[in-house]
Homo-oligomer: A and B are copies of this chain.
Amino acid sequence: MMEEREISQAVITRLPRYFRYLGELKDNGVERISSQELSEIMNATASQIRQDFNNFGGFGQQGYGYNVELLYKEIGKILGLDRQHHMIIIGAGNLGHALANYMNFERRGFIFDGCFDINEKLIGTKIRGIEVLPMEEMEDFIIQNNIDMAVIAIPKVGAAEVADRLVACGIKAIWNFAHIDLKVPDNVTVENVHLSESLMKLSYNFNTAKRNKN
């Protein structure tokens, strides 16, 4: 158990990518693959792949490589994709809509159960058949529907307060799109998607490449 804690976030960040490539190989009917072949497809080194997999016991590669389907399933399990997670989305704007419409999430066990907004014009409208509810009803909904994950898809202003309310009623996983670092207790997991920081990184790399070229 303690072992799991020590796996670096860099490895965790790579796991979903392995999962994606293995899913594609599986869909294409590939049954076995060596770390060398996998490394070529993924543009990574074979030794990194082996090292990453060794964190989880190595997945029993033998001389003839990994069993693709087994490896895909094992990584899925590690990522928690073998169980269902019940999610609500805070914010029924374009971003909330976009996230609710990612059908792929549902296929992976992330069930979209509810959506909340403060905007009177949005309350009562439907997103994929789910009615947008007023923020006042959020706490009761979370408790009654065994929600375990919440998506914050509202602007920076108000996000900290919403996070506090989510934590207060027992939410332990927050997917945060607000451009703010949330302060939450240690037992609450936050994954940030800071879009403007990603855009700035693109800008930096683009401008640096341009300067180096000139």
Q: CB of A101 within 8 A of chain B?
A: yes
A189 near B209: Cβ-Cβ < 8 Å: yes
Alpha-carbon distance A195/B16, docked complex (angstroms): 11
- Assess the B98–A93 pair: CB atoms within 8 A: yes
Chain A interface helix/strand/loop/mixed = helix
Q: Which residues of B contact A174 (CB under 8 A)?
A: 202
> In the complex, what distance in Å separates the CA atom of A19 from the CA atom of B189?
24
Q: What's the Cα separation between A207 and B4 when bound, in Å?
A: 11
Task: Please report which residues of chain A, range 91-142, place their CB below 8 angstroms from some CB of chain B when the two chains form the complex.
Answer: 93-95, 97-99, 101-102, 104-105, 108, 110
Contact of A199 among B148, B190, B191 (CB under 8 A): B191
Q: Bound complex: CA of A80 vs CA of B203, how far in Å?
A: 6
Tell whether, in the assembled complex, residue B97 and residue A204 are in contact, meaning their CB atoms are under 8 Å apart.
no
- In the complex, whether A159 has a CB less than 8 A from a CB of chain B is no
